[in-house]
């Protein structure tokens, strides 16, 4: 039997808050509407304390709040002068290193760097003292769905940890050292040549526009639904603009996938509005397919089934059906059609 | 005198091996095999510059710069007349006096060799040599006379502090590991030694590997570990080979393995070869590297004493820390605590290099002053130049000026002065060294060695480096000095691991003691040491005799002049390589190096 997690009481900026045992100081603060800037923290991933922006003061010492777990009676200061100065330095360094191409950037309306630099009040004059990096590294556009621009990468490692911890693929890694450190695939190949399966999990977590979808999304509204591709039934939100689906995102509340998706669910929605898509049943007449109504088509199928028995018949089920539907297909094949010749596309 | 009972010690440390000491040994072996003279090869003697070194005991005759062709002479002296080969004596660079034995050489006379006591004395590939010299007595005592708690107590009482640079109390660390819960624990030895120019740990491993094995085994018995790893950089092939031999012999003789010395203690050691990244010397990165991942430091806590290698309680100490332990347990805490200063006990091992007459590996009691080290042991600044600063602590340390020369050297005094002990580099800088350029050199190293994980270190060191490059190349701006200080403070306070937390030290310490040199570059277009090319010009004086040497050697063809006539330099063509300055005959000495002389700069600094 698992024990109820203990509630811990602590003080953040003079405010008494409670948090569950094991919670980080960062999460505890954010849950109580005390904002702490951060770039490398992501709620789905283990904390690493790399960006140093979430530093807070405890007993006069600066610690990273993402890696510090709440303790009874902790007295945390999130915004002392010392902390503010350290954050400003880190933020100015990040911006001086970043390709500030905000107008053309896919992440512009949801960029952690812009958000935190506004929060910290970074001033352009201050930035002018620094030497900008101007790396001019090539952009990897090899993947059909997303691109990687190392000039915008802040090396937070979120993508690396996502691919390791969530996807289990381990495609991404830190490459080289020092200022030359970049994110790359094994052997620093392009994405398309790597072991990447294009799930896009890293792309959705990238806090800036370094890993970004190639087709920017302009959804007017969202529709909650279930992915049609397979029996897992991942929860998704379709981004809709007019009568078209323009975007898909995973539903973080759905227990089946907790926001994760595979390449098909995330990027494979073109078929919806594709001109080749069949929207009505077709019946072959005199060697040619002719559009028909559902009633007519189903009756034709039923009559053909009635003429067939035993091993003359075979059923091939689809991964796009639910498990329950697939169960019914095999039951129907064995009990009604009297054959064991039943298979499924997922094992072909 | 007869040749009886003489022992010839031939240094085969990395330095002497590379200057062919094995061939000397082979030559002596061939001639002396039927005699009573014993020939032994040893680890480093410390005076690598003078190598290959051959010593004849019991007299202590010290032959320097020995060549294979000198072997017959040495043989003759040993077998026949007994007269030493005087021309191979070491010549004191200061007094030019020839000194027959190492007892006479000031370089050795002022040292106190504890960690290095066997280096250069015993054959590191013979365990019997080590045992005869008192080796493995500490382990015996630890296993049969002391409880684990008592061992930890002795180490604590001795006052030993970590020799890897940080200077944390070794006894405390052992206590944490001992008290940590867990049936699997590890003992690790840090032999990464990534500081540029450092070779202290390498010399200990090459010269006295069993001392390290013994220290680790004692640690294992104290904290309850069965397995040890030595993390050694792969660039140390000789150290690795000697360790392998030592581990094999220790296993054969029952000092490692199951049931050590008949007790029920089990402990074994494996060598892990690192790829030589500086940051892999940081404790968490080292462990992550052994686990097979990219060596990137992680946030502590959890501390390795609770969750280290493979998540198990782990003890990590430096090579020299372990080498001290074996003697401390054997000779007692008081013996060790009697050496050194109040808070820094024992000795410090330094790799003394730079502009110094006698460079090499030295060991001194904690608390001696830089003046004693540099002048008494090191023989003073090279070529009689003026002393400017001494750099300690490698890329994590700082530069200390003349005013620090009489301050006792220990962990705390160095930190107070803005430097640190580090693992023991000591570089002497003379008047011709530009302090801005020294800072740039070290920052160039740390910037490249940063693991890239955290923002202040990865980007901050690069930012500081770029500013320093700008300053030495004449692009410094007003405000740069303040910016360097601000960034330095931010990087020190904000970085995740010790690399970033100490990386600004070379800059901050030179700003503290040599700020005027930065200002000279930025505001006055001058490099006071006349080293930064951008700020210097070469000129030929009227005393030129027209020998044409400079003209012939100038690859830029910038020098004109007729034979026997006064020459001149076309400043627009000059590459500032300084060849003219070098080749002008010393008697003539007509080429002059000037700084701040010509306003041909185009840098932004000029806008002032
Ligand atoms: C960047 C960096 C490099 C380090 N390199 C070394 C090293 O080469 N050798 C070493 O013993 N300690 C090194 N250290 C210190 C170790 O992290 C650790 O403190 C030490 O090995 C502990 O041993 P000690 O207590 O015996 O000194 C390094 C630390 C940092 C931050
Ligand atoms: S798209 Fe998926 S598989 Fe590819 S690198 Fe990103 S997380 Fe890994
Ligand atoms: S690509 Fe994005 S997620 Fe990955 S390290 Fe760079 S900024 Fe972070
Ligand atoms: S301080 Fe430097 S070396 Fe240490 S973790 Fe940060 S980036 Fe890596």
CA of B163 to the centre of ligand 2 (A): 44
The dihedral region occupied by A109, where left means phi > 0, alpha psi between -120 and 50, and beta the remainder, is: alpha
Q: Flag whether A259 is in a domain.
A: yes
User: What are the distances in angstroms from CA B520 to CA B401, B444, B471, B524, B525?
Assistant: 18, 22, 10, 5, 6
Residues A297 and A314 in one domain: no
Tens-digit pLDDT profile for residues B321-376: 999 999 999 999 999 999 999 999 999 999 999 999 888 999 999 999 999 999 99
Per the CB < 8 A criterion, the answer to whether B559 and B573 are in contact is no
DSSP per-residue string spanning B356-389: BSS-EEEEEETT--HHIIIIIIT-SBGGGPPEEE
Contact assessment for residue B419 and residue B509, using Cβ atoms and an 8 Å cutoff: yes
Radius of gyration of the CA atoms of chain B, in A: 27
Q: Cβ of A52 and B466 within 8 Å?
A: no
Q: Is the confidence metric ipTM above 0.85 for this complex?
A: yes
What chain B residue is nearest to A88 in terms of C-alpha separation? B490
- Residue B4, pLDDT score: 57
Name the token pair of A327.
């169960």
Q: Is A37 exposed, middle or buried (0-12, 13-18, 19+ CB in 10 A)?
A: buried
Residue A337: inside a domain, yes or no? yes
Q: Quick check: CB of B395 below 6 Å from ligand 4?
A: no
Residues of chain A that touch chain B, judged by Cβ-Cβ distance less than 8 Å: 39, 47-53, 55, 62, 64, 67, 82, 85-86, 89-90, 93-94, 96-97, 129-131, 133, 154-155, 157, 173-174, 176-181
User: Whole domain around residue A298: which residue ranges?
Assistant: 278-306
Distance A263 CA to ligand 2 centre (A): 9
**Domain-embedded: residue A343:** yes
Our CA dihedral for B94, B96, B99, B105, rounded to 10 degrees, sits at 10
Could you tell me which of B155, B146, B46 has the C-alpha nearest to residue B105? Answer: B46
Instruction: Provide the CATH number for the domain around residue A106.
Output: 3.10.20.740
What 8-state DSSP symbol labels residue A68?
Answer: P
| Chain B neighbors of A173, CB-CB under 8 A | 294
Output the CA torsion B369→B371→B374→B380 (10° steps).
-170
Partner-chain contact B455 A173, CB within 8 Å: no
A102 vs chain B: nearest CA distance in angstroms?
21
Put simply, whether B448 touches A (Cβ < 8 Å) is: yes
Question: Which one of A49, A53, A129 has the shortest CB-CB distance to B299?
Answer: A49
Q: Mark whether A30 and A113 lie in a shared domain.
A: yes
Nearest CA in chain B to A98: B459
Closest CA to B400 of B274, B559, B287, B513: B513
Residue B540 CB neighbour total at 10 angstroms: 22
Residue of B496, B501, B502 with the most ligand 4 atoms within 8 Å of its CB, for mutation:
B496
Residue A159 lies in a domain: no
Distance A272 CA to ligand 1 centre (A): 59
Do A113 and A84 sit in the same domain of this protein?
yes
The reported pLDDT for the residue numbered B602 is 36
Distance from the Cα of B162 to chain A's closest Cα (Å) equals 23
pTM: 0.91
C-alpha B239 – ligand 2 centre gap (Å): 42
Q: Cβ separation of A93 and B456 shorter than 8 Å?
A: yes
If asked whether residues A260 and A295 sit together in one domain, one would say: no
Last residue within a domain, chosen from A73, A101, A127 = A127
Question: Which chain A residue has the Cα nearest residue B465?
Answer: A131
The residue in chain A having the minimum alpha-carbon distance to the alpha carbon of residue B450 is: A178
Q: Are A170 and A163 in contact (CB under 8 A)?
A: yes
- Kindly give, in sequence order, each residue whose CB lies less than 8 Å from that of residue A302, ignoring residues fewer than 6 positions away: none
List, as one string, the DSSP characters of A31-54.
HTT-----SS--TTS-----S-TT
Contacting residues for B365 by C-beta, under 8 A, at least 6 apart: B112, B339, B340, B346, B347, B348
Structure tokens at B155: 């180490």
List ligand 1's pocket residues with C-beta within 6 A.
B 162-166, 168, 170, 190, 192-194, 278-279, 281-283, 316-318, 321, 423, 497-499
- Together in a domain, A249 and A321: no
A39 CA: distance to closest CA in chain B (Å): 10
A109, part of any domain: yes
Strand partners, B28: none
Low-confidence ranges of chain A (pLDDT < 50): 348
CB contact under 8 A, B463 and A85: no
- Contact partners, residue B263, CB within 8 Å, separation at least 6: B143, B144
| Cα three-residue angle A45-A47-A48, rounded to 5 degrees | 125
At residue B385, the pLDDT reads 94
The set of residues, in sequence order, having a beta carbon less than 8 Å from that of B29 and lying 6+ positions away, is B39
DSSP reduced 3-state for A64: strand
Q: Could you say which of A242, A269, A296 is where a domain stops?
A: A269
Counted domains in chain A? 4
What span, in angstroms and rounded, lies between the C-alpha atoms of A133 and B455? 14
| Same domain membership, residue A331 and residue A283 | no
Cα torsion at B522, B523, B529, B535 (round to 10°)?
A: 80
Backbone angles phi, psi at B167, to 5 degrees: 75, 30
Q: In what order do the strands lie in the sheet with B387-392?
A: B360-365, B347-354, B425-430, B387-392, B398-401
Given an 8 Å threshold on Cβ–Cβ distance, is B490 in contact with A90? yes
Query: Please, where are the H alpha helices in B123-199?
Result: 127-132, 137-144, 148-158, 170-179
The answer to whether the CB of B456 falls within 8 A of the CB of A93 is yes
| Domain match, A329 and A250 both | no
The pair of structure tokens assigned to A188 is 């620093």
Q: Is A163 a member of any domain?
A: no
And the tokens for A225? 């639904």
A261 pocket-lining for ligand 3 (C-beta < 6 Å): no
Contacts of A53 in chain B (CB under 8 A): 455
Range list of β-strands (E), B446-544: 536-540
**A206 Cβ below 6 A of ligand 3:** yes
Q: From CA A210, how far away is CA A91, in angstroms rounded?
A: 17
> Which ranges of B495-535 does DSSP label H, i.e. alpha helix?
498-502, 505-513, 515-524
Judgement on whether residues A228 and A121 belong to the same structural domain of the protein: no
Domain of residue A232, CATH code: 2.20.25.90
Interface contact B244, partner A, CB < 8 A: no
Which residues partner with B353 through β-bridges?
B427
Assigned domain for A324 exists: yes
Domains identified in chain B and CATH numbers: 7-105 (3.40.30.10), 127-337 (3.40.50.11540), 347-430 (3.10.20.600), 435-523 (1.20.1440.230), 536-601 (3.30.70.20)
Q: Which of residues 250-279 of B touch A (CB under 8 A)?
A: 277, 279
Residue A150 lies inside a defined structural domain of this protein: no
* A36/A109 same-domain check: yes
Helix, strand, coil shares of chain A, percent, nearest 5, are 30, 20, 45
The residues of chain B scoring below 70 in pLDDT are 1-4, 81, 597-608
User: Which is nearest to B225 in space by CA: B260, B192, B272?
Assistant: B260
C-alpha dist (Å) from residue A201 to A228, A259, B573, B592: 19, 9, 58, 65
Last residue of a domain, one of A106, A127, A148: A127
The pLDDT assigned to B290 comes to 97
CB contact under 8 A, A178 and B453: no
Return the pLDDT at B138.
97
Return the axis-axis angle of helices B209-223 and B170-179, rounded to nearest 10°: 40
The residue count for chain A:
348
Distance to chain A for B282, nearest Cα, Å: 15
Same domain, A26 and A103: yes
What's CA B92's distance to the chain center, in Å? 23
Helix (H/G/I), strand (E/B), else coil: A213: strand
Residues 6+ apart with CB under 8 A from A45: A158, A161, A162, A165, A166, A205
């Amino acid at each position: 039997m698992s024990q109820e997690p203990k509630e811990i009481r602590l003080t953040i900026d003079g405010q008494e808050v409670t948090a569950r045992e094991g919670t980080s100081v960062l999460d505890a603060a954010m849950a109580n509407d005390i904002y702490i800037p951060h770039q490398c923290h992501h709620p789905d991933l283990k904390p690493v304390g790399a960006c140093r922006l979430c530093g807070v003061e405890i007993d006069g010492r600066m610690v990273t709040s993402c890696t510090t777990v709440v303790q009874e009676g902790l007295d945390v200061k999130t915004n002392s002068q010392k902390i503010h100065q350290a954050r400003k330095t880190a933020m100015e360094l990040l911006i001086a290193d970043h390709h500030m191409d905000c107008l053309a950037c896919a992440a512009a309306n949801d960029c952690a760097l812009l958000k935190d630099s506004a929060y910290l009040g970074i001033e352009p004059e201050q930035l002018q003292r620094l030497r900008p990096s101007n790396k001019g590294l090539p952009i990897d556009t090899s993947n059909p769905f997303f691109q990687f621009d190392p000039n915008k990468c802040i090396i937070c490692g979120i993508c690396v940890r996502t691919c390791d911890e969530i996807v289990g693929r381990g495609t991404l890694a830190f490459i080289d050292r020092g200022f030359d450190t970049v994110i790359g695939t094994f052997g620093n190949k392009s994405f398309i040549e790597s072991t990447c399966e294009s799930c896009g999990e890293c792309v959705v977590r990238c806090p800036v526009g370094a890993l970004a979808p190639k087709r920017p999304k302009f959804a007017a509204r969202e529709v909650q639904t279930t992915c049609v591709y397979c029996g897992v039934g991942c929860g998704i939100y379709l981004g809709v603009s007019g009568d078209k689906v323009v975007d898909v995102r995973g539903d973080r509340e759905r227990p089946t996938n907790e926001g994760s998706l595979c390449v098909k669910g995330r990027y494979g929605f073109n078929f919806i509005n594709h001109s080749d898509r069949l929207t009505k049943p077709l019946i072959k007449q005199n060697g040619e397919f002719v559009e028909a109504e559902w009633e007519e088509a189903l009756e034709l199928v039923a009559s053909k089934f009635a003429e067939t028995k035993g091993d003359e018949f075979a059923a091939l089920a689809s991964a796009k059906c639910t498990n329950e539907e697939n169960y019914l297909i095999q039951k129907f094949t064995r009990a009604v059609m009297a054959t064991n010749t039943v298979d499924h596309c997922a094992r072909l | 005198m007869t040749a009886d009972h003489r022992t010839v010690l031939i240094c085969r440390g990395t330095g002497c091996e590379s200057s062919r000491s094995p061939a000397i040994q082979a030559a002596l072996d061939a001639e002396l095999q039927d005699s009573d003279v014993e020939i032994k090869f040893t680890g480093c003697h410390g005076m690598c510059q003078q190598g290959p070194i051959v010593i004849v005991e019991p007299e202590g005759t010290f032959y320097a710069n020995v060549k294979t062709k000198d072997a017959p002479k040495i043989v003759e002296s040993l077998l026949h007349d007994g007269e030493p080969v005087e021309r191979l004596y070491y010549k004191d660079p200061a007094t030019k006096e020839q000194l027959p034995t190492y007892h006479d050489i000031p370089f050795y006379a002022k040292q106190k060799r504890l960690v290095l006591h066997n280096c250069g004395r015993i054959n590191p590939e013979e365990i019997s040599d080590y045992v005869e010299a008192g080796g493995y007595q500490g382990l015996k005592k630890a296993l049969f006379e002391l409880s684990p708690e008592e061992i930890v107590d002795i180490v604590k009482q001795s006052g030993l502090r970590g020799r890897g640079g940080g200077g944390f109390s070794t006894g405390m660390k052992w206590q944490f590991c001992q008290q940590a819960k867990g049936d699997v624990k590890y003992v690790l030895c840090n032999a990464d030694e990534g500081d540029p120019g450092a070779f202290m740990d390498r010399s200990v491993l090459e010269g006295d590997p069993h001392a390290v094995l013994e220290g680790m085994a004692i640690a294992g018995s104290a904290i309850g570990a069965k397995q040890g790893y030595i993390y050694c950089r792969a660039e140390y092939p000789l150290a690795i080979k000697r360790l392998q031999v030592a581990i094999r012999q220790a296993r054969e003789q029952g000092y490692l393995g199951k049931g050590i010395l008949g007790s029920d203690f089990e402990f074994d050691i494996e060598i892990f070869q690192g790829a030589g990244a500086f940051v892999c010397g940081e404790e968490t990165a080292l462990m992550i590297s052994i686990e097979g991942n990219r060596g990137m430091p992680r946030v502590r806590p959890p501390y390795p004493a609770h969750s280290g290698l493979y998540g198990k309680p782990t003890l990590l100490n430096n090579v020299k820390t372990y080498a001290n332990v074996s003697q401390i347990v054997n000779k007692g805490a008081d013996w060790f605590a009697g050496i050194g200063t109040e808070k820094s006990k024992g000795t410090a091992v330094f790799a003394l290099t730079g502009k110094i007459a006698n460079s090499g590996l030295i060991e001194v009691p904690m608390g001696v002053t830089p003046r004693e080290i540099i002048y008494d042991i090191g023989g003073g600044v090279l070529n009689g130049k003026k002393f400017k600063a001494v750099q300690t602590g490698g890329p994590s340390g700082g530069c200390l000026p003349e005013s620090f020369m009489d301050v006792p050297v220990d962990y705390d005094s160095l930190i107070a002065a803005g430097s640190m002990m580090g693992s023991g580099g000591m570089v002497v800088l003379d008047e011709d060294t530009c302090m801005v350029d020294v800072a740039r050199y070290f920052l160039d190293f740390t910037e490249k060695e940063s693991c890239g994980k955290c923002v202040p270190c990865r980007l901050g060191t690069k930012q500081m480096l770029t500013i320093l490059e700008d300053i030495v190349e004449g692009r410094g701006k007003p405000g740069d000095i303040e910016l360097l200080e601000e960034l330095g403070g931010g990087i020190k306070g904000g970085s995740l691991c010790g690399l970033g937390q100490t990386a600004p030290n070379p800059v901050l310490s030179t700003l503290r003691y040599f700020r005027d040199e930065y200002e000279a570059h930025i505001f006055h277009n001058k490099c006071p040491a006349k080293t930064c090319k951008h700020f210097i010009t070469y000129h030929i004086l009227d005393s030129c005799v027209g020998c044409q040497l400079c003209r012939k050697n100038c690859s830029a063809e910038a020098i004109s002049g007729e034979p026997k006539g006064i020459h001149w330099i076309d400043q627009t063509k000059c590459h500032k390589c300084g060849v003219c300055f070098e080749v002008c005959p010393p008697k003539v000495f007509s080429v002059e190096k000037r700084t701040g002389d010509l306003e041909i700069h185009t840098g932004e600094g000029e806008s002032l």
